[in-house]
Amino acid sequence: MEVAYIQTPIGIAELKGDENGLASVSVLDINKPIGTIPDVLKSAAKQFQEYFEGTRTEFDLKLNPEGTDFQKKVWEALQEIPFGKTISYLDLSKQLGDVKAIRAVASANGKNPLWIVVPCHRVIGTNGDLTGYAGGLHRKKWLLEHESPVKQTALF
């Protein structure tokens, strides 16, 4: 498994993958030397740069996350949420065919190993509240604002 570190506006991202695809992306709360990017991760690093520059709204990468069949089903559904849109955990559960599975869906969402590429940050509470995010709520807020079609300027 190859590893690369890239600088993003919300922290250092750690990318892991090999010839079978991108296995995980996470954000670190510590500084890491950036170093060289392995060939198998260059496309992912470039696409992340484009995403943060605002020129990419979809990722085109071979993915290879580890998870249960149910988790993979949830992660596939997350990839259907359009850039700049959000969905509630309840609506995601309905979309997957079982409203009673809301807690299992939320758990699978929280175990998503592919930060941003599989956009778990686009899932919010039924009442519109920002709810848990493995990278921290401040990052979830930043990502949703970054993707928002309406750019709000600071008032003060």
| Beta-strand pair 2-8/11-18 | antiparallel
| Token duo for residue 94 | 């309905």
DSSP 64-111: -----HHHHHHHHHHTTSPTT--EEHHHHHHHTT-GGGHHHHHHHHHT
Q: Which residues of 8-28 are buried (b: 16+ CB within 10 A; e: fewer)?
A: bebbbbbbbbeeeebbbbbbe
What is the Cα–Cα distance from 32 to 130, expressed in whole angstroms?
A: 28
Find the catalytic residue in 116, 117, 120, 144: 120
**108 is known as an active-site residue:** no
Enumerate the β-bridge partners of residue 28: 12
| Token duo for residue 98 | 């079982």
Catalytic residues: 120
